[in-house]
Structure 1
């Protein structure tokens, strides 16, 4: 009995020691790699969130991968896939398949005299992470607070499923829904696509594809929440200013795009320095992807013009699809952009993807598209996601979400 008790004490001591080392390792990683500017909303809380994410993804996942138990990516996805909530008193929630794509539908229970609006939601996560579970609370909120039918799309993830798999799944699910809106009490003229981060990229790409379809009703609107919209220039002002700001580092942004495009990050250095695209192509798209198109007030925190570098042929061959609008919606032709529906764009000051949103805003407005823009002056990438966590939510993120809700209700 005494021996068993001793073993238990030793086990608990080892567990506590391991946990402490885990936390200390995550804190050290955060301090060594992140740079949180003074203007960020609730910076201490951001560090805590970042340390939690590092503990789970970088430390725990890497340990399990080194032990041969599972890959780091698999571990993070497993942790994200755990269900956190059951039934909702105000919503009917059901998991279905649209064609070959898993979806989760949120329908308000309250009767409605009129057909409701429908929202196709594409989750973020760099095309590598994210699921129906990670954005479940957000979709519930949108359905309840805007009295809309929300369809969350569980598209295929990279690197197992490379571009254009995620885009094709989102497009297929959207088309299926638009052809069957009567089954869900949705007005076919009031369908909106929406997404955050990589999901914003997918929403923009789907919206562009559907803009020229005559066999479907026109989309009512698109909602792009800190979207990533181009992969030509990772040295725009926002990438330079916010390269070490959690929750999305500059290097990670490029890494995720490469995972989506090629299933690996073998050309990461070339992408970061800008030598992955040939000079003639860069010059062709300079009219749209250009720091000169960013208002001066967004450069006051510092910006150093980047020297244009030419691209080795072998590198370009591996990333040449970077110029396809379905991957980089910012590169779509004017004829397509002119047909896009009313748009809501949310950007954050301390986000590497800020300038993607600003450049797209300008393109839309230059082509006569109505844009509602909301900028979180103290926001950072991913600030909306923990909106309903009592301890880890951010006041600025709640303001951003309120504006999204208000925009939806105005449609």
Structure 2
């Protein structure tokens, strides 16, 4: 990215605030903005409640205008484990349902710091495990039709759910779509092993300082941030994971760690496709559907969903956009 472009994009970056102190303000601002669209979106979803243990978890279900397959997309929203919810992601999930032709079930998992790790993961894991064990209760004919999808912190949760299902000996999902996920604990430009942290960690949509603030709110214990269910790239075993589509953003500080996770999965013998959307900022899945970045991403997502449900003889070679 040339300096002029970087300066121009910096004008549209989120205001620089101390997320540790101001996460409540950010939540209120997000919900206010989402409320502006609510009247026109009220008929685009059905809301239900899932019971996991002694907890009630809201799930918002979006149906496509034209259904084009049997898949069900179980979606975990982004927001650094601290912000975002099913309300603020309503337009994103409605677009996802319409652009894929698949129902989308958006999970309202618990947020930090009120509910630090592993609360949010427990919610996502509990719902996924329940659907896999009793898909008919949710009107799903075949558990193999369940596809985990998450963006940013939600991509982190999807990856962690898949690892934990394997670790605890449960049948896992067969496919997952990870959108610019958080996979590593270190986002300090002086110590991070990833160049994208140094190249894109300031003045853009997401900064190094914000990621670290989110991580500290989600997992206050610095040593625990290195655990595989918090930082999936720290796992010792990457085997027996779902067929994976990992989409990264070219101008995102999380780009390299996400792509490194895709390579780790592939090296362990899993089927993996890594696709980099060039000239895209973190969070681009929330852009209007007519943007080039959205068209690029959904072309790859739909091709991934349309692939026959079986393992290939050899793992796919990762793909990347121009400049990868």
TM-score in terms of structure 1 length: 0.65
Distance apart, 1:108 and its partner CA: 4.0
Conserved 8 A contact 2:239-2:269: yes
Indicate the residue corresponding to 2:316 in structure 1: none
Residue of structure 2 aligned with 1:364, choices 265, 279, 284:
265
Indicate the residue corresponding to 1:105 in structure 2: 61
Counterparts of 1:73 and 1:111 in 2: how far apart (Å)? 35
Indicate the residue corresponding to 1:193 in structure 2: 148
Counterparts of 1:109 and 1:74 in 2: how far apart (Å)? 30
- CA deviations 1:169-213 (Å, max 9, x no partner) are 111121222234223244211211111111110010011112245
Conserved 8 A contact 1:343-1:370: yes
- More helix by percentage: 1
Distance apart, 1:253 and its partner CA: 1.0
Residue correspondence of structure 1 range 34-113 to structure 2 within 5 A: 37=3, 44=8, 46-47=9-10, 49-50=12-13, 53-54=14-15, 58=17, 71-82=24-35, 84-85=37-38, 93-99=45-51, 100-108=56-64
Residue of structure 2 aligned with 1:210, choices 153, 165, 169:
165
Q: Where do 5+ consecutive residues of structure 2 fail to align?
A: 309-324
SS of 1:319 mapped into structure 2: coil
Counterparts of 1:190 and 1:345 in 2: how far apart (Å)? 18
TM-score in terms of structure 2 length: 0.81
Counterparts of 2:27 and 2:100 in 1: how far apart (Å)? 34
Would you say 1:329 and 2:232 are equivalent positions? yes
SS of 1:189 mapped into structure 2: helix
SS of 2:31 mapped into structure 1: helix
Would you say 1:173 and 2:76 are equivalent positions? no
Counterparts of 2:129 and 2:90 in 1: how far apart (Å)? 22
Would you say 1:247 and 2:148 are equivalent positions? no
Indicate the residue corresponding to 2:96 in structure 1: 142
SS of 1:160 mapped into structure 2: coil
Taking structure 1 as reference, are residues 251 and 147 closer, same or farther at Cα in structure 2, changes over 3 Å only? same
Indicate the residue corresponding to 1:342 in structure 2: 243
Taking structure 1 as reference, are residues 96 and 37 closer, same or farther at Cα in structure 2, changes over 3 Å only? farther
SS of 1:116 mapped into structure 2: coil
Indicate the residue corresponding to 1:23 in structure 2: none
SS of 1:120 mapped into structure 2: strand
SS of 2:111 mapped into structure 1: coil
Would you say 1:238 and 2:196 are equivalent positions? yes
Distance apart, 1:405 and its partner CA: 3.0
Distance apart, 1:215 and its partner CA: 4.9
Distance apart, 1:147 and its partner CA: 2.5
Would you say 1:261 and 2:219 are equivalent positions? yes
Would you say 1:159 and 2:117 are equivalent positions? no
CA-atom RMSD, angstroms? 3.0
Would you say 1:228 and 2:182 are equivalent positions? yes
Distance apart, 1:38 and its partner CA: 5.2
Indicate the residue corresponding to 2:318 in structure 1: none
Taking structure 1 as reference, are residues 175 and 240 closer, same or farther at Cα in structure 2, changes over 3 Å only? same
Counterparts of 2:24 and 2:92 in 1: how far apart (Å)? 28
Taking structure 1 as reference, are residues 105 and 338 closer, same or farther at Cα in structure 2, changes over 3 Å only? same
Matched residue count: 297
Indicate the residue corresponding to 2:320 in structure 1: none
Would you say 1:379 and 2:280 are equivalent positions? yes
Counterparts of 1:73 and 1:39 in 2: how far apart (Å)? 26
Of structures 1 and 2, the larger Rg is shown by: 1
Taking structure 1 as reference, are residues 341 and 368 closer, same or farther at Cα in structure 2, changes over 3 Å only? same
Counterparts of 1:83 and 1:94 in 2: how far apart (Å)? 19
- CA deviations 1:221-275 (Å, max 9, x no partner) are 111111111104532211111121421011111111011112xxxxxxxxxxxxx
